[in-house]
Each structure stands twice: as structure tokens, then as C-alpha cells.
């Protein structure tokens, strides 16, 4: 690699292995002549170090690429800092203490008093004193001091074997100010750690950090193309420069000067098209142009710093450069058609291709089954596409591999050299340490009959779907009818005679159509090594073995017992109180080493998770995922939905073990703050940037694999509004090329740095009308449940909903008035009509309103064009279960039977409405998580689902303190006061199961409940009992099928043809009489339970018992009648 500017020449050689080699010429495809190299070594030691060569078949590379960069000669003044004075450290650390500095500029006006230091210990870094190990939400570790150069913390240390710390410095909103997790080392002579914003690099003192900060701060410059740079908040300057260093040596010399080579940039401007494309960059920015003779394709491989200089050379500002948009401009178009990853070709050779345009070198490293290095192949670089590739016959199916990458990483400000797995991995080793070559068409990886497998439910009209949300581990982890080695695994779904599978089959027979699986891609936060995991059915002694913290905890006396973990939890639950919440305390320790996690922590997007397989090593996970899909379709009778999480990665940065994308192409795949350059984390973790072309390609390619190779029928997108709408639509087009009826839905929540279309037009609720893409509706959810998911303490109980007694059966502290209850009922009505923008009805204020004129927290409530763009639900994996939510809110006097019927009424609003119903697993059997708000890693104890219908998991100990600690007083009060009225037994659970089956059968029976098109809803549906004088708690929805509209039941057998349908819901504790719009209605004969028992129809009078959903038919008598014409009364 050569770099020149005038007489300036810089040479870089890639580090090669050094040992005494035996050389043997070896011909390899495409790459010409290489050398087979083996080291003479008298040692017979072997280990799993990737750098340990095997004794045979080891070959190396000898011709790394050379990238020439020539810059024009410059004659401007040397850039220098002016007026710098030495910055001292205010205190010295004591013997068992480290001083952590966040070094800032003196003119920084930030309020650092509310900043906090978050620390944790792990196997590699364990020096932080336990008193400073707090939950993420705890902000008590505030600065010990603050001066003009920033805050600092006095961190107590404990004795330990390691010499490093885990550190995150957070602002008041808990944003990581360092960009990613810092792991600074402690020297024996110096326990000072100085950090600067946006970087994890640690300095020995504040002066070193300050000198780095004063010259170069943040990453406010954005290279948006091959010749244009936009600098946010740039100062007015005499000259703007771009400094370039392949060796990452842009730094001050002893005289506080920058003597590295640079190019001068000239003033420019953005076009109108560019301003639309980069809205966040178009304001308060300076636009600069580069000489178009520069080879920017090579320059982007270097460290880049923009500087503003005055006439004397004083540095007014310096900032790192974000290059993602230029990578798109320069390379993405030519990389779109490239098949990335490892591909076994028809001639038996394997092609490897990885997109890494900023890499200075990429070498393919091959490993045998024992993870001993077998060989290395230099990859060829395509300067037009940014793709590194090689083809070889030395990497047959089953071969493990990594990419040895040399690349400048702005987060560390270093040229990094590391091995990284393939972001396009299709198969992996245990814990995803190595990628694996695989042919997904290998017959050995297909269960018998796989190629001919068909979906059991047609998908032409998504309104016919009833989606049931499940989780692979929850489904069977504690089920004794499932073989022990299949519990919590993919293969549990293949056990036809197990209780969970029989339960699912009964739901399918009732009308549930789709099984939604929480993430089954490769998950970063589940340990796949069985010997390092302790699940609750295992001996407590194993927990002590795999988690050393237990032996120093209050539970250590169980380590030598013969008890299982679940035995101990049962014992603790008998005396669990808010003053001594020992169940959750132990459960937090269990969660560190168990196999449970929801899985919203992506590691590799296109390989199945290994912990759900009977063997996480290699391709078994592929076969068993397919066996599961086949069993769900063939044996259970449902289509399969996959939950996908392309909006974030588990981590980013050069040092994190679960960082993949950000190591391959630093600062590209993750969305960065436009000022600081830190990775945005509004999603929870390291946000991705689907707006970047190659991230969009990764998502598209990944989805196609899941659709084509695993026969997934629909995809649910986590935090879909963090994606551009165009990217989601492009992905849908790609998968519908595989299967035209594949369906997309997701979370359209509008928040974070992308909110209100700040960066692009989002795939949010507001923009989905007419796309055919569904989104979860919080409108009906909140109206039925009451309040919002963000309520806490007594605020949860004060806000009742339609489904638990708002106004009609008030609890002891409710603050709701009649107008609140009627507004909620209007939202339920709109939701049951598909939450359409254009649907009209009479609201609680006696006004004829459209759906988009109904208010929902300051937003239009109606936002869909068709009801298939709405997921109506009252419970899903997030937040409290429906049962737990209702117990928070129902009146203490409510009987157990009433509570069961409240559950049924709540579910009926989704099941009998026009959206796409979505049911959380266990809602049909009164599932409880013991009031847990967020159980993402709360383990099998709190997440248990009992398909034997004997227990609903109520009151198994207080929920985790970090999520629900502030709610302990109200939780304790609710549990104690409700008593046995909140604790169902087998009778009530079975009753609820029969209620849900009736609701599913009703939906399946009547096409009028599944209209699908907004225009049909508008032509047919009327809500009665509306306006200011309505009977509270009563919804009456009629669906016309008379002569005024086309016959929607024309394919229905003649004997079952209807002229109309009514859905009537009494969500109150009292019977209600209502006058029907016409006579001749009859109660549906579909009911098999007592859900509609007591419903009386006499002429036009309808008598509805308390807490009852009823479906009434208007039978056809010979010729079609007038039906139930739409009226606005």
C-alpha cells in the first residue's frame, strides 16, 4: 500500500506469520500460485486458538493488495492548536480505586450532574466493586466531581484476576456517550482512565485525552459522495482541509501541530435532490467539494479528519468523517447483484464474497472441525463494487471459516486487524464463533417431503388470518409430555402426541391460522454451550458451578443440596414479599446463565439459532428448523410467521465479541449520531441503518433465504418504523418474487432519531395506508386494556379500559369519567372496523367523524386503508399479559367468573373485528407472568405456559425489581386484596380455552367478519348505540349483506347464506337490553361453550347478559333481503 503527497511517501506492509516455513508450491483456482507453509514446532500442543495451524494442509497468502493514494501538493500553514495549556488531573486514585474521567472542552455547557457511570463484571473483566454494579435503570452512580474539563468518577475496585473494566458513561437519557462499550485496562502504576466523547480509547491522563479532543472532536463531517462533504455546525474558516492517513496517524506532534498530508476543500452547495435525500444534513451545515481527480475509492480506506483553519493555521475545529453515504454512492450500485457470503457452485468449488470497501485487506481463513486453522486465501478486491472474493476447492460443505480483516475503525481511531464471521452466514459453530460453508439444497438437510411441503392455509386475504404469537422455549421448556432432549427446542413441535402440540392442533381446528415465532435467527445472548448453562429443571449445584456469583450470594447454602433450581424457587415463593423479594433476586442470577431469552439480540440474521437445536454445532440447526416448520404446517395445520429484528444489532464497535457488521464495514451498517458519530441506540441496542443501500440489500437477501429455504409464510418486523418505507416495500417485493402471497406486518411506532420522518419516510403507522403492510394498532389495545404500557405505580390501576370495567365497574382509585370511557369505546369501535382512515361513525360527541378525525393521544386514530393493514391485539409478549393487566385494574369485588369473561370480552374485540387478530400465547388459558412487565430474559420461571390447563402461573413471586420495583406496592396490594378471585384453577382455565375456541370458530365461520377491503367495510358496517346517550359498555356492530351490496357469502353453502351479521359486546357487569335494527335475528349456532349463554332474542329485542360477546345471524329467506343497510343515526 502506498500513499504519496508531493515528496511524502508512506508505505504499509501487512503483518505476516513469522516462523520457519517449509515451502511447497500449490496451485489454487483463480489465485494462481501460492505456497503451502507449515511451521517446524517441536510442541504437540493443540487448542482452539484460531491462530494455531493444523499440522497438514496449511497455506498462506503472499500477495496482499496495494492501494495507491496520491494527494496534490499543498503549501498552506501548518495546522496547530493555539493557546493550549497543560491539563492536570484533579485527584489521584487511592490503592483500591480508579478515577474515570470524561474529558470535555472548557466551553462545553452540558449539565454533567445527571450523567452516570454504568459498570459490570464478566469473566474477562471483573475488577469493579459489587457496590457499583447497578441495574441499567439505576442512575445513582453520578460524578464525584466536575470541573471545566468535564466530570469524573471515583470507582471502587475489588481484588480480581483481570486488569480491565467494563464502562459506559451515560447522559440523563441513558445514551452511551462513548459510542460503544469501553473496556479500558488498568496498569499497576496508574489507575487513571481518561475518555473522550464518542470514543472508547482510554488515555493515561486528562492531558492526553484533552489534546486528542481539542484537535479532533465528534464526527460532524459527512462524505456524501465521491466529491462532496457536508460538515454539520462547521465554523467559518479561511480554509477547510481533509486530512488523510492510511496508518491512522492523524495526531498532534510535540509542538501541538498536525503535519500529516491533507487536501483542501472548496465551498459548494447541495442540490435540491440532495437536500431531500439528506434532510438531517441540509440545515446548519457547510458543504464542501473535493478535487474530482482524487481517487476517493482508496481514500475512504484511510483515517479521515476534516479541519477548519484560520489564516495563521490555528485549528478552529476538527472532526472525524462519516463515510457511509459515500460508500453507497461509490460502490453500492455495482454490489447489488453480487451474491454475498459463501456459495457452493455447480462445479463443487466454493465462492466467498464479502462487501468491505473500506477494508485495507481481507483474507479468508479456513478451519477444520476442531477449529484448527487449515489455510488462508488472499481475497481479490473489486474496486468498483467494494467486494472481496475468492473461489477454492479447499472449502467443501461443512468447512468453518472467518475473514481476517484489516480496516481502519473510527471508534478506536486505529487500523484494526481481527478475524470476523461472515454477516451472510448460513450456518455456524457453537456460539457463532465460526461461519460454516453449507449447501442449503443438500438432501441431508431436508426432512423427508420437504420439497413438496405446502402451506395449509391460503394467504390471498390476510383478513382470514388469526395469528398466534409463540416462543420456541416457552412452548415446551417445562412440558413433561415432550421428550426431555426436545424441551425448549425446535423438535418439540414435531411431537404429535405432546400436550403443547395437541393444544396447538385444537387451536388450528378452531380457526387459528398462523403460528408466529419470536426470533429464531442466531441470537447473541443465549449461551449454546450446554456445560455453561443451568436451567431451572437442573440441580442447583450446577447453577453454582456455572455462575460463581451464586456461591457468594444469600442462596449459597443451596449449592450443596440435592435440590433442583425449581425446587428452590418453589420454596422461596412461599414467603416472597416486597421486603424480601428473593424469587426475583435468585431469578436474576439464574438469567445470567440459563437458556432463556426472547431473542431480540441479532448476531447473524440468516442462520437459525443454535440453542433451540439438539446440537448447536454446525448444520443440525438447519435440519431441525425445517423439521419444525414442516411439523407446524403438516401436523398442527398452521402457517409459519417469523419475527425479524433488522433494526438493530446486539453490539457494534471493534472490541465487542458479538459485533459483526461494524467490524466488516465500520460506521456503515449502524446508524450514527450525525454530530458525535456514536451509534444510535433508541431501539435498545446498536441501531442499524436500513436507509443505507447495502444494509437494505442484507435485509432483502436474508428475507429471501428465509422465505425460499425455510418456507416462512409471513414476517413480523420489530420496530419497523426505524426502517424506511421504501426499503420495507423493496424487501416485500423481493420475497413476493419467491411467493406472491407472503405477508409483512410490524411495529410502526414513531420514536427515536428517525421520528416524524427526520431521516426518511418511515415505515410507520402514518405511512402504511395502501401498502398492504400491517402494523400493530395501539388504539384498540389501549382502549381495551386501559391506560398505556408506560403507566406505573397507582397510575396503572387508575386507568381502566373497555375490557376491565371502565366507568361501568369502577375500581377503588379510578379517576376516569364517563367521557373517557366513551372515548375509549369509540376507539374500540374504530378498531373493530379495521381502524380505517375513511370509516365514518357517530362519535361520543354526536358528531359524524372519519377515523382519521378521531383523536388518539394527539394523533389520528384511524390510519389504514384496508383492515389487513391492522393487527388488532390486546396482549403480546411485551408488557403485562392480558390476565395480569386486568388484575391491576378490575374492581376487587369482581368474581373469578367475571374476570374470566372479561378476558373473553377483551379478546373478542380483536377476534370479532375487521383487522387481523393477533393473540399472545396463553391468552386463551389466562396466562400470567406474575405481573411481570418485561420478561425478555426472566427465564422459564416467570414465562411458563402450562398447556395442561392446571395452573396459569399467577403469583409465583414478585417480578424483577429493575423493571417493576416501583410497582411493588400496588402489585402487593392487588395480589393480597384480590386473593383467590385472581387465582384461576383448572375449571376456569379450561372454560377460557373453550371461550377462545368459540371466538376463533366464529371468525372462521363467517366471511363477513373477514371483509379484507376498506371499501367493503365502509359499505357494510354500522355501529349502533353510539353518541352521547349510548349505553356505556355496549358495542353493537352490524355487517350488511343485503341487496344494497354484493353478496359476500356467495361461496357459502346455500343453507348458511346470510343477509347480515351483528356482533354485540356487553362489557359491563349488568345485563343490557337493546333494540335491534330489524327482526328475524338468531344467535349463532357456532357456540359450543356457555360464552353466549343467556342471550335472548325476542323480535327486535336483544337481551345481553353481563360480560358477553354475541354474534347474531340474519338468515336469508329464499331471495336476498334488504339486510342491514348502513345508516348514520
Give the residue from 525, 594, 425 showing the smallest Cα distance to 939: 594
Taking each helix axis from N to C end, the angle separating 778-785 and 882-889, rounded to the nearest 10 degrees, works out to 40
SS3 state of residue 942: helix
How many other C-beta atoms lie within 10 A of the C-beta of residue 1050? Answer: 9
If DSSP codes are grouped into helix, strand and coil, which group holds residue 660?
Answer: coil
d(CA 1038, CA 760): 40
Give the DSSP H or E segment for 708.
Answer: helix 693-710
DSSP string of 603-647, one letter each residue: EEEEEE-STTSS--STTHHHHHHHHHHHHIIIII--EEEEEE-TT
b or e along 101-114 (b: 16 or more beta carbons within 10 Å of the residue's beta carbon)? Answer: bbbbeeeeebebee
DSSP label at residue 52 = -
- Distance from chain centroid for Cα 957: 28
DSSP three-state, residue 388: strand
Q: Is 592 exposed, middle or buried (0-12, 13-18, 19+ CB in 10 A)?
A: middle
DSSP 8-state code for residue 864: B
Say if residues 374 and 408 touch (Cβ distance below 8 Å): no
- The rounded distance, in Å, linking the Cα atoms of 523 and 602 is 5
CA gap 1092, 1070 in Å, rounded: 14
Instruction: Write out the three cell numbers for 770.
Output: 395502501
Task: Record the cell numbers describing residue 1117, joined without a space.
Answer: 329467506
- Judged by DSSP in three states, 274 sits in helix
Q: Among 691, 718, 869, 955, which one carries the catalytic annotation?
A: 718
> Is the Cβ–Cβ distance between 786 and 828 less than 8 Å?
no
CB–CB of 511/498 below 8 Å? no
Active site residue 291: no
Cα distance between residue 165 and residue 188, in whole Å: 14
Question: 696: phi > 0 → left, psi -120 to 50 → alpha, else beta; which?
Answer: alpha
Question: What does the longest C-alpha to C-alpha distance in the chain come to?
Answer: 101
Residues 6+ apart with CB under 8 A from 524: 432, 601, 602, 603, 650, 651, 658
Nine-digit cell at 973? Answer: 396490594
Smallest Cα–Cα separation from 217: which of 314, 309, 101, 320? 320
Among 747, 778, 852, 951, the active-site one is: 747
Cell triple for 380: 481479490
* Residue 747 a catalytic site member: yes
Distances from the Cα of 1071 to the Cα of 701, 882, 1064, 1099, angstroms:
56, 24, 12, 18
Active site residues: 718, 747
Amino acid at each position: 500500500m502506498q500513499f504519496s503527497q508531493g515528496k511524502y511517501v508512506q508505505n504499509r506492509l501487512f503483518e505476516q506469520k513469522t516462523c520457519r516455513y517449509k515451502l511447497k508450491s500449490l496451485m489454487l483456482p483463480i489465485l494462481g500460485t501460492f505456497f503451502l507453509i507449515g511451521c517446524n514446532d517441536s510442541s504437540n500442543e493443540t487448542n482452539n486458538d484460531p491462530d494455531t495451524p493444523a499440522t497438514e494442509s496449511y497455506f498462506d497468502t503472499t500477495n496482499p493488495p496495494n492501494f495507491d493514494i496520491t494527494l496534490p501538493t499543498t503549501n498552506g500553514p501548518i495546522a496547530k492548536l493555539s493557546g493550549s495549556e497543560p491539563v492536570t488531573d484533579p485527584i489521584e486514585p487511592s490503592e483500591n480505586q480508579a478515577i474515570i474521567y470524561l474529558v470535555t472542552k472548557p466551553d462545553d455547557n452540558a449539565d454533567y450532574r445527571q450523567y452516570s457511570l454504568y459498570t459490570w463484571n464478566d469473566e474477562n473483566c471483573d475488577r469493579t466493586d459489587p457496590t457499583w454494579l447497578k441495574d441499567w435503570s439505576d442512575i445513582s452512580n453520578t460524578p464525584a466531581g466536575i470541573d471545566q474539563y468535564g466530570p469524573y468518577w471515583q470507582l471502587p475496585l475489588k481484588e480480581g484476576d483481570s486488569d480491565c473494566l467494563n464502562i459506559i458513561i451515560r447522559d440523563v437519557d441513558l445514551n452511551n456517550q462513548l459510542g460503544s462499550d469501553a473496556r479500558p485496562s488498568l496498569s499497576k502504576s496508574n489507575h487513571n482512565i481518561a475518555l473522550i466523547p464518542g470514543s472508547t480509547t482510554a488515555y493515561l491522563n486528562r492531558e492526553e485525552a484533552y489534546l486528542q479532543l481539542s484537535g479532533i472532536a465528534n464526527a460532524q463531517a459527512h462524505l456524501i459522495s465521491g466529491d462532496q462533504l457536508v460538515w454539520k455546525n462547521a465554523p467559518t474558516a479561511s480554509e477547510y482541509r481533509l486530512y488523510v492517513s492510511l496508518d491512522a496517524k492523524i495526531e498532534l506532534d510535540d509542538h501541538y501541530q498536525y503535519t500529516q498530508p491533507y487536501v483542501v476543500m472548496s465551498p459548494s452547495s447541495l442540490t435540491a435532490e440532495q437536500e431531500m435525500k439528506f434532510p438531517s444534513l441540509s440545515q446548519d451545515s457547510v458543504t464542501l467539494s473535493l478535487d474530482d481527480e482524487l481517487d476517493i475509492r482508496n481514500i475512504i480506506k484511510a483515517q479521515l479528519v476534516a479541519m477548519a483553519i484560520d489564516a495563521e493555521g490555528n485549528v478552529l475545529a476538527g472532526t472525524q468523517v462519516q463515510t457511509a453515504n459515500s460508500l453507497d454512492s461509490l460502490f453500492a450500485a455495482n454490489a447489488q447483484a453480487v451474491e454475498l457470503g459463501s456459495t457452493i457452485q455447480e462445479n463443487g468449488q466454493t465462492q466467498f464474497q464479502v462487501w468491505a470497501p473500506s477494508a485495507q485487506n481481507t483474507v479468508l481463513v479456513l478451519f477444520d472441525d476442531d477449529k484448527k486453522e487449515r489455510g488462508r486465501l488472499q481475497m481479490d478486491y473489486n474496486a468498483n463494487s467494494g467486494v472481496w472474493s475468492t473461489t477454492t476447492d479447499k472449502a467443501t460443505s461443512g468447512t468453518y471459516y472467518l475473514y481476517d480483516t484489516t480496516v481502519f475503525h473510527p471508534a478506536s481511531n486505529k487500523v484494526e486487524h481481527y478475524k470476523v464471521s461472515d454477516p451472510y452466514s448460513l450456518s455456524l459453530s457453537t456460539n457463532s464463533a465460526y461461519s460454516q460453508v453449507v449447501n442449503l439444497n443438500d438432501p441431508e438437510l431436508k426432512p423427508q417431503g420437504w420439497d413438496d411441503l405446502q402451506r395449509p392455509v391460503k394467504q390471498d386475504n390476510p383478513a382470514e388470518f388469526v395469528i398466534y404469537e409463540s416462543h420456541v422455549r416457552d412452548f415446551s421448556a417445562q412440558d413433561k409430555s415432550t421428550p426431555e432432549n426436545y424441551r425448549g427446542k425446535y423438535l418439540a413441535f414435531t411431537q404429535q402426541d405432546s400436550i403443547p402440540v395437541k393444544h396447538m392442533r385444537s387451536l388450528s381446528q378452531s380457526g387459528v391460522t398462523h403460528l408466529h415465532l419470536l426470533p429464531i435467527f442466531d441470537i447473541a445472548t443465549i449461551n449454546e454451550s450446554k456445560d455453561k448453562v443451568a436451567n431451572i429443571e437442573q440441580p442447583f449445584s450446577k447453577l453454582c458451578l456455572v455462575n460463581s456469583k451464586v456461591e457468594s450470594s444469600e442462596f449459597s447454602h443451596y449449592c450443596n443440596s440435592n435440590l433442583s433450581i425449581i425446587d428452590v424457587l418453589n420454596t422461596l415463593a412461599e414467603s416472597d414479599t416486597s421486603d424480601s423479594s428473593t424469587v426475583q433476586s435468585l431469578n436474576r442470577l439464574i438469567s445470567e446463565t440459563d437458556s432463556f431469552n426472547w431473542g431480540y439480540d441479532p448476531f447473524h440474521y440468516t442462520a437459525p439459532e443454535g440453542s433451540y437445536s439438539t446440537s448447536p454445532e454446525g448444520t443440525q440447526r438447519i435440519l431441525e428448523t425445517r423439521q419444525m416448520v414442516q411439523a407446524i404446517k403438516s401436523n398442527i395445520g398452521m402457517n409459519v410467521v417469523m419475527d425479524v429484528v433488522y433494526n438493530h444489532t446486539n453490539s457494534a464497535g471493534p472490541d465487542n465479541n458479538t459485533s459483526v457488521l461494524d467490524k466488516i464495514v465500520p460506521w456503515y451498517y449502524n446508524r450514527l449520531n450525525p454530530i458525535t458519530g456514536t451509534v444510535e441506540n433508541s431501539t435498545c441496542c446498536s441501531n442499524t441503518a436500513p436507509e443505507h443501500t447495502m444494509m437494505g440489500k442484507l435485509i432483502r437477501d436474508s428475507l429471501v433465504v428465509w422465505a425460499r429455504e425455510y418456507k416462512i409464510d409471513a414476517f413480523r418486523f420489530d420496530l419497523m418504523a426505524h426502517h424506511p418505507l421504501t426499503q420495507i416495500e423493496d424487501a416485500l417485493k423481493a420475497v413476493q418474487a419467491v411467493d406472491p402471497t407472503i405477508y409483512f406486518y410490524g411495529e410502526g411506532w414513531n420514536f427515536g432519531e428517525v421520528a416524524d420522518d427526520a431521516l426518511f419516510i418511515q415505515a410507520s403507522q402514518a405511512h402504511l395506508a395502501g401498502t398492504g403492510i400491517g402494523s400493530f394498532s395501539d388504539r384498540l389495545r389501549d382502549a381495551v386494556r386501559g391506560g398505556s404500557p408506560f403507566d406505573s405505580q397507582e397510575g396503572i390501576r387508575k386507568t381502566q379500559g373497555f375490557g376491565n370495567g371502565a366507568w361501568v365497574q369502577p375500581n377503588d382509585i379510578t379517576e376516569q369519567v364517563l367521557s373517557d370511557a366513551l372515548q375509549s369505546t369509540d376507539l374500540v369501535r374504530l378498531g373493530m372496523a379495521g381502524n380505517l382512515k375513511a370509516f365514518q361513525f357517530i362519535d361520543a360527541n354526536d358528531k359524524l367523524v372519519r377515523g382519521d378525525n378521531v383523536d388518539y393521544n394527539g394523533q389520528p386514530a384511524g390510519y389504514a386503508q384496508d383492515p389487513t393493514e391492522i393487527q388488532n391485539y390486546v396482549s403480546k409478549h411485551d408488557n403485562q399479559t392480558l390476565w395480569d393487566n386486568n388484575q391491576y385494574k378490575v374492581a376487587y369485588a369482581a368474581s373469578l367468573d367475571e374476570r374470566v369473561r372479561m378476558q373473553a370480552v377483551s379478546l373478542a374485540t380483536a377476534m370479532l373485528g375487521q383487522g387481523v387478530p393477533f393473540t399472545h400465547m396463553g391468552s386463551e388459558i389466562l396466562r400470567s407472568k406474575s405481573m411481570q412487565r418485561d420478561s425478555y430474559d426472566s427465564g422459564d420461571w416467570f414465562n411458563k405456559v402450562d398447556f395442561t390447563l392446571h395452573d396459569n402461573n399467577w403469583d409465583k413471586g414478585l417480578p424483577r425489581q429493575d423493571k417493576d420495583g416501583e410497582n411493588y406496592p400496588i402489585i402487593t396490594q392487588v395480589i393480597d386484596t384480590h386473593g383467590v378471585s385472581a387465582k384461576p384453577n383448572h375449571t376456569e382455565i379450561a372454560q377460557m380455552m373453550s371461550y377462545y375456541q368459540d371466538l376463533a370458530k366464529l371468525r372462521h365461520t363467517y366471511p363477513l367478519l373477514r371483509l379484507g377491503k376498506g371499501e367493503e367495510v365502509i359499505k357494510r358496517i354500522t355501529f349502533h348505540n353510539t353518541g352521547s346517550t349510548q349505553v356505556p359498555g355496549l358495542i353493537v356492530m352490524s355487517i350488511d349483506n343485503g341487496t344494497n351490496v354484493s353478496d359476500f357469502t356467495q361461496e357459502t353453502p346455500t343453507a348458511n347464506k346470510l343477509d347480515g351479521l351483528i356482533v354485540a359486546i356487553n362489557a359491563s357487569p349488568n345485563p343490557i337490553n337493546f333494540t335491534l335494527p330489524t327482526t328475524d335475528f338468531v344467535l349463532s349456532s357456532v357456540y359450543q361453550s356457555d360464552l353466549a349463554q343467556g342471550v335472548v332474542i325476542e323480535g327486535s329485542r336483544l337481551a345481553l347478559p353481563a360480560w358477553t360477546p354475541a354474534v347474531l345471524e340474519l338468515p336469508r329467506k329464499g331471495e336476498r333481503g334488504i339486510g342491514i343497510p348502513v345508516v348514520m343515526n
